[in-house]
Amino acid sequence: MIPAAFAYERPKSLDEALGLISQDGAATKVLAGGQSILPLLKLRLASVDRLVDIGRIEELRGVRQAADGSFAIGAATTYSELIDSPVTALACMADALPTIGDVQVRNRGTIGGAIAHADPASDLPAVLLALDAAVIARSKRGERTIPITSFFIGPFESALETDEIITEIRLMAPSDDYGSAYVSIEQQASGYAIAGVAAVLGHSGEVMGSTLIEDIRVGVTGVGDRAYRASAVEAALRGTDCSHDRIARAARQATEGVQVNSDIHADREYRTAMAEVLVRRAIEAARARSA
Ligand SMILES: Cc1cc2nc3c(=O)[nH]c(=O)nc-3n(C[C@H](O)[C@H](O)[C@H](O)COP(=O)(O)OP(=O)(O)OC[C@H]3O[C@@H](n4cnc5c(N)ncnc54)[C@H](O)[C@@H]3O)c2cc1C
């Protein structure tokens, strides 16, 4: 289908883009990889007066690694560029990235677009929640850091203001004390998650002969109206040895406090059951990698 007419701008710098996006509220939108917004415009499920294409702004692209090993990822970095970058040292990123869409989607789709779109079935939100990412957003008014735990506020709704552009996503450094994993059940046609779970586990060595998990973060996507942290599961396992039995018991709380989705791809009962299974599998896999 053909979208309704809109103006197209291709700024050369972030400053220029911020100037354009600050002008007329929601009628102007950012275009990054176009893998979500262009289908919406073509199907006339959304309309804009103007698109501001940030896909070629160099300062928004690429992965930088700081001296402490932590990552700063430019918002317009594509999935394919991430697959070829050092962020795959974080095992949950390495697990998730190749499962997203197909080669075309991965060559065009960006990490900034993936989270700004806030699709409740996207893969990366679960991974970024488990990694406790920080989202850097800029507007003409200044820059702010949004913790990923406050970023997703509803289906296709994020904490971003209409004049803000995500510039960077910051991630923890890979560490031998940490293990992580992402597992999902995908829609066959698109690859979107029917249910997807990322787990990150950190220990601080052996205490009286057993390794205790001090830090545990579990991100879930595809299940609720937004990606979320499975806090009850985390609380049940934090400070324990994360034995198989404990993990299995904790995983039963995978959807605690969540209104579970039901749609043509999977009903509520199936998603609830799969959330439990995937939470168990992701934690087991992360545990094995944190040895
Ligand atoms: C066939 C197909 C299969 C797919 N399969 C999967 C899948 O398996 N898993 C999955 O997770 N996703 C999947 N996707 C979605 C894909 O990951 C999209 O690329 C992603 O959701 C959006 O990234 P984008 O760069 O293309 O954003 P765009 O489409 O350009 O933009 C999406 C939204 O984000 C806003 N935006 C973009 N960048 C910024 C920024 N830096 N700051 C502020 N706002 C911004 C735009 O204004 C727009 O509202 C699929 C898409 C298609 C078409």
Name the pLDDT band for 2 (thresholds 50, 70, 90): confident
pLDDT, position 201: 96
- Ligand 1 pocket check for 39: Cβ under 6 Å: yes
User: Is it the case that residue 18 has pLDDT exceeding 70?
Assistant: yes
pLDDT, position 205: 67
From the CA of 227, how far away is ligand 1's center (Å)?
A: 15
Residue nearest to atom 14 of ligand 1 (CA): 101
Domain-embedded: residue 2: no
Long-range contacts of 46-50 (CB under 8 A, 24+ apart): 47/3, 47/4, 47/6, 48/6, 49/6, 49/7, 49/24, 50/6, 50/7, 50/8, 50/9, 50/20, 50/24
pLDDT, position 251: 98
Q: Which helix (H) or strand (E) holds 108?
A: helix 103-108
Both 164 and 235 in one domain: the answer is no
SS3 state of residue 269? helix
The DSSP call for residue 46 is S
User: Is it the case that residue 178 has pLDDT exceeding 90?
Assistant: yes
Domain end, chosen from 128, 154, 171, is at 171
pLDDT, position 203: 87
Kindly state the average pLDDT of the residues 58-85.
97
User: Based on the structure, what is the number of domains in the chain?
Assistant: 3
Q: Write the CATH number for 29.
A: 3.30.43.10
Query: pLDDT, tens digit, for every residue of 254-270?
Result: 999 999 999 999 999 99
Both 34 and 83 in one domain: the answer is no
Domain-embedded: residue 250: yes
Residue 163 in contact with residue 172, Cβ under 8 Å? no
Q: Tell me the percentage of the chain whose pLDDT exceeds 90.
A: 89
From the CA of 114, how far away is ligand 1's center (Å)?
A: 4
Domain-embedded: residue 1: no
- DSSP for 158-193 reads ES--TT-EEEEEEEPPP-TTEEEEEEEEE-TTT--E
Which residues constitute the domain of residue 184?
178-289
Domain-embedded: residue 98: yes
- Ligand 1 pocket check for 261: Cβ under 6 Å: no
Ligand 1: which of 105, 127, 185 to mutate, judged by most atoms within 8 Å of the beta carbon? 105
**Residue that is written with structure tokens 């249910």 in the block:** 195
pLDDT, position 210: 77
Domain-embedded: residue 32: yes
Q: Write the CATH number for 114.
A: 3.30.465.10
User: Is it the case that residue 208 has pLDDT exceeding 80?
Assistant: no
pLDDT, position 119: 97
Q: Write the CATH number for 212.
A: 3.30.390.50
- Ligand 1 pocket check for 109: Cβ under 6 Å: yes
Q: Tell me which residue of 136, 143, 109 sits closest to 124, measured CA to CA.
A: 109
Q: Tell me which residue of 271, 208, 205, 203 sits closest to 237, measured CA to CA.
A: 203
Query: pLDDT, tens digit, for every residue of 136-150?
Result: 999 999 999 999 999
Query: pLDDT, tens digit, for every residue of 20-52?
Result: 999 877 899 999 999 999 999 999 999 999 999
Both 32 and 75 in one domain: the answer is no
pLDDT, position 290: 87
User: Is it the case that residue 189 has pLDDT exceeding 90?
Assistant: no
pLDDT, position 248: 98
Ligand 1: which of 50, 73, 117, 139 to mutate, judged by most atoms within 8 Å of the beta carbon? 117
Domain end, chosen from 141, 171, 201, is at 171
- Ligand 1 pocket check for 114: Cβ under 6 Å: yes
Both 188 and 278 in one domain: the answer is yes
Distances (CA, A) of 37 to 2, 32, 58, 260: 13, 9, 21, 26
Q: Comparing 105 with 205, which gets the higher pLDDT?
A: 105
Q: pTM of the predicted model, to two decimals?
A: 0.96
Atom of ligand 1 nearest to the CA of 160: 43
